[in-house]
Amino acid sequence: MRTSLYYMKRASRPVIVLSAVTVIYYTQWWTLLLPGQNAAPPLAPIDSVTALRHMVSSHNAVIEGKPSQGAYNEDNVTALSKPSQGTHKEDNVTAGGKPSHPPLATDRYMIYDCKGACGGWADRLKGIAIAYVIANLTHRRFGIRINDIPCPLREFLLPAEVPWDLPDSLDLKSDAKMYNRLGSVAFYNSMPSVNFSEIFTARVTLFKANLDYFDLLKKNARYERQLQWMRPLTNDQIFARIFHQLFRPAPRVDRALQSALASAKPSPDDRLLCGHVRFASNSEMLRDTMRRHTRDHGHTVLRFLQSLDPASPLFNVTTATAALPPSNATATAALPPSYAKADNYRFFVTSDSKVYIDQAGEVFGARFVRTSGQFVHVDRKGGQRGQEVCEGFTKVLVDQQLLARCDVLVVSMSGLSRQAAYIRGTDSGLYCILMTGQLIQCQRRHLRQLYHVIG
Ligand SMILES: *[C@@H]1O[C@H](CO)[C@@H](O)[C@H](O)[C@H]1NC(C)=O
Ligand SMILES: *[C@@H]1O[C@H](CO)[C@@H](O)[C@H](O)[C@H]1NC(C)=O
Ligand SMILES: *[C@@H]1O[C@H](CO)[C@@H](O)[C@H](O)[C@H]1NC(C)=O
Ligand SMILES: *[C@@H]1O[C@H](CO)[C@@H](O)[C@H](O)[C@H]1NC(C)=O
Ligand SMILES: *[C@@H]1O[C@H](CO)[C@@H](O)[C@H](O)[C@H]1NC(C)=O
Ligand SMILES: *[C@@H]1O[C@H](CO)[C@@H](O)[C@H](O)[C@H]1NC(C)=O
């Protein structure tokens, strides 16, 4: 029996370790915050936003996005390597043999281009997702350009069902124009009626954006037939589907993921209990409006995970039964019946604070899963820098994928967390540490309301 299980007593103040990598990939610079620090009841409609001062002029813009009432299906989309959705080819023929849309304009492009500031990885994924849908709606070729990582995106992710590589021959100078829609509430609010062809007129359209547009876009009557597929889905399901259509792990990420899974889920019956707590708001601009998780919130998450751990003095059979239905492997004749085999439990906690991760490691000891890749200090210079940034990016991708495979997942105020929950594809075992410090059971389609964000 370990003696270090009660985390609270041992905790020292977490030191936030910021790094080139975490600064780039954990931030949500442009994610818009809704007024109010306290969590709204899950179904409370969003009726206003506070936009970033620097980027958006229209304050208090009306958002029509109420939680979707559409059919709610648990989609099978957790396996990154096995995209679950039907293939989307650039075909111009429907099942009935009639042309379904004009042939793809092979010389027209819609390119997600992360040039200059474009936010963290979660922001980028949101921009990529909407860029892909716009490309499809306007019959353009789709492409992704991310050039601020020293290694090409292809080294981390490969196209799954949809190509997004750009031909080397593509001339991005002539006929190309950048449309920056980062943090634009006006763009967000235009979704129900926008005609994308009227906005994006350049033959080679370079585009960046970072909000979650699908609930509003679903209402757009211009594209009624083309958007049919997303109408019964909730925003999280749409995101997960697009993610799997676009990406599968490249060997570099796959190797790291498989190696993490080998210790995280040695057998399918093992339980992986996870949390992600983002402490910092690495943003100068949002200093006064950004809300942060405190170290108490971090403690709450660890205490909750301990309450599910049969080896912990904090084990609470009521909580554990609610979070984790018993499985055969975890069941024994001993009491408590379903949770007696602590060896079947693994813990994965990730964060932008290395100190917090290390504290979690102390709490869970040998059953704590670590992913490789390191926190890189901003001031670290020299020849190693580029490779370290690539390793740091690998870690972000692997961490997100691992979070998406957890039996219990606690998310925090972070796009990375939310998307992991979306990709995970189920509400079972999903919990939220709110900005109030309260830890509640939650559902994917309510996460934006719970955290007062529209991204
Ligand atoms: C997931 O897929 C399996 C096999 O295709 C199917 O039996 C199961 O019902 C699906 N689960 C959900 C929640 O759709
Ligand atoms: C469009 O359909 C025609 C006739 O079915 C077919 O010959 C052609 O290859 C298709 N074009 C594309 C781009 O799929
Ligand atoms: C968008 O606008 C263009 C030009 O005004 C028009 O030709 C096209 O039909 C419109 N598309 C949709 C989907 O409304
Ligand atoms: C792309 O367009 C086709 C044809 O309209 C549609 O069937 C398909 O669902 C669309 N895919 C996405 C991801 O929007
Ligand atoms: C166990 O958790 C439940 C809520 O899930 C709580 O009501 C109860 O007081 C806890 N029991 C102990 C012994 O802490
Ligand atoms: C659990 O064990 C029972 C009885 O041995 C078996 O019927 C059932 O399929 C098992 N369930 C799982 C999930 O393995």
Q: How far is the CA of 245 from the centre of ligand 4 (A)?
A: 11
**Which pLDDT score, from 0 to 100, does residue 383 have?**
52
Phi, psi of 105 (to 5 degrees): -80, 105
**Which pLDDT score, from 0 to 100, does residue 84 have?**
29
Three-class SS of 425-438:
CCCCCEEEECCCCC
Q: How far is the CA of 13 from the centre of ligand 1 (A)?
A: 44
CA distances from 92 to 89, 105, 131, 224, 241 (A): 9, 11, 20, 17, 21
**Which pLDDT score, from 0 to 100, does residue 363 have?**
97
| Separation CA 391–CA 387 (nearest Å) | 6
Domains of the chain: 7-16+253-451 (3.40.50.11350)
CA distances from 352 to 40, 83, 357 (A): 25, 29, 8
Residue found under tokens 């006006």: 186
From 139, 194, 195, 226, mutation site for ligand 3 pocket: most ligand atoms within 8 A of C-beta:
195
What residues in the chain have per-residue pLDDT under 50? 1-101, 282-289, 331-339, 376-382
Structural contact between residues 265 and 369, judged by C-beta atoms closer than 8 angstroms: no
Residue nearest to atom 8 of ligand 2 (CA): 92
**Which pLDDT score, from 0 to 100, does residue 453 have?**
93
What's the predicted TM-score (pTM) here? 0.74
Q: Which of 112, 374, 408, 390 is nearest to 272 (CA)?
A: 408
Per the DSSP assignment, residues forming a β-bridge with 33 are 50, 453
Q: Which ligand is nearest to the CA of 338?
A: 6
